[in-house]
Structure 1
Amino acid sequence: MPRSFAPLLAAVLLALAAAAAASPAHNNAATDFIRKSCRATQYPSVCVKSLSSYGESSPPPRSPRELARAALAVSADRALAASAYVGRLCGGAPGAHGGAKRAAEPVRDCLEDLADGVGHLRDAAEEMGGGMGREGSPAFKWHLSNVQTWCSAALTDESTCLDGLSRGVDAATRAAIRGKVVEVAQVTSNALVLVNRVGPGY
């Protein structure tokens, strides 16, 4: 190896070693922050799992506001996935037979509820990520109120979906959809708690 490259190689190796040494500490701090924040939620283990996986594809949240926005984004993604799942069930439901067609109607209603919920959660995540102003200011409180309203509306949509499935849907289909929607409702409930903890005093 030419002598002139030796110092450069040494500098690169030192930089890589420093980054490797700092990364675990950084990740541990982020994980601790998520775990401590999730203790306030109704489903803390679900909260930790969903937000820890979120941090794998983007910078981990470091503040209550960033954490709330991440939770809203996770909720929107889960709602979208549940909507796609219900959509496949709805599309596959036979419509020729009268009973099957009637059974599919609550599933289609659930699909509409989930689609509304996805929109509400996306709006909430976007609002949380935008210019909300200084914490405690009237503008900040107004934006935060919007986020809380949309998140609550998404929870209502999810609950309405589940209520509708109790009428005219066979047990297997009801159980399959319920499993997906309950998961969405849990992450959405957690997101609302984290949203409520944004601002002065937290």
Structure 2
Amino acid sequence: MNIQIPSTFFLFFLSTTLLTTLTTAGNPLPPTSDDTDFIRTSCRTTLYPQTCFTSLSGYSSAVQQDPGRLARVAIGVTLTKVTNMAKYVSNISHQVDNGRSSPRVAAAVHDCYSLFGDAVDDIQGSLRQMRRLNGSGEDLRFQLSNVQTWMSAALTNEETCTDGFEGVADGGVKTDVCGRVVKVKEVTSNALALVNSFADTIQTP
């Protein structure tokens, strides 16, 4: 699915909206060592704990040791990074269209652009669902299963992007794009792991 890449203003708006969503009414309390330790401990369940802690520790006062909030924050942070990556790939696609790369590289870049467009859609769906969670037990698990499905799909799209560069010589566009995608995949994987951890806390009758 092709998307229209957001403008710089939209990215600013997205970041501002994310921060507003994460905080409760009034000024958030300053982070405590327990809040930070909660994020550090939660991140140990992910495949990339250091990346997890580095990207999320700044939100410890908003999370306040709530696994649901932590999962929502992680998805929001991931959405920002994936949107930025989609914009970057869009810019690269214009360069390859100008004949600066081989047709094979150009095709891989265009596929990557489309895949990241789909990933943005998936993560947006996940974040909307996380904001609307309600109920308990099986109802809540069902809602979270939608989030898990969308986040898994986003991760698959990101992995497929790098798969498209197989057979392309290392260096240049391939090294640049794939190197950036690896970092995005890490935060996406971590967000999915934190959603899974949150789902495991839901009690069923």
Normalised-by-shorter TM-score class = 0.7 to 0.9
Does 1:36 pair with 2:41? yes
- Asked if 1:71 is matched to 2:59, the reply is no
Structure 1 residue 172, shift from structure 2 partner: 1.6
Q: Paired residue for 1:90, among 77, 93, 108?
A: 93
For the residues of structure 2 that align with 1:95 and 1:167, how far apart are their CA atoms?
22
Where 1:93 maps in the other structure, the secondary structure is helix
Aligned partners of 2:64 and 2:118: how far apart in 1? 27
Distance 2:156 2:177 in 1: 16
* Cα RMSD after superposing both structures: 2.2
Q: Quick one: distance in 2 between partners of 1:199 and 1:96?
A: 48
Gaps of 5+ in 1: 1-21
Superposed displacement of residue 61, structure 1? 4.7
Answer yes or no: is the 8 Å Cα contact 2:105–2:174 preserved in 1. no
Could you tell me which runs of 5 or more consecutive residues in structure 2 were left unpaired when the two chains were aligned.
1-28
State the 1:142 CA deviation: 1.2
CA distance in 2, matches of 1:61, 1:76: 21
Q: How much has 1:28 moved relative to structure 2? A: 2.2
Deviations 1:105-164 (A, max 9, x none): 110100111111111111111111213312x2x221110110000010011001100100
Alpha-carbon distance in structure 2 between the residues aligned to 1:115 and 1:84: 9
C-alpha distance in 1 between matches for 2:124 and 2:97:
32
Partner of 2:102: 100
Identical amino acids, percent of aligned pairs: 37
Distance 1:200 1:91 in 2: 44
The residue type equivalent to 1:92 in the other structure is Q
- TM-score with structure 2 setting the length: 0.77
Q: Distance in 1 between matches of 2:178 and 2:165?
A: 8
Deviation at 1:96, TM superposition (A): 4.7
- Matched residue type, 2:90: G
Q: TM-score, normalised by structure 1?
A: 0.78
Report if the CA contact (8 A) 2:168-2:174 is conserved.
no
Q: CA deviation at 1:200?
A: 5.4
Q: Looking at CA atoms only, which structure, 1 or 2, has the larger radius of gyration?
A: 1
Letter matched to residue 76 of structure 1: L
- Give, in whole Å, the separation in 2 of the partners of 1:200 and 1:104: 43
Say which of 105, 127, 130 aligns to 1:128.
130
Give 1:6-45 correspondences, 5 Å limit.
23=30, 26-45=31-50
For residue 46 of structure 1, what is the aligned residue in structure 2? Answer: 51
2:11 matched to which residue of 1?
Answer: none
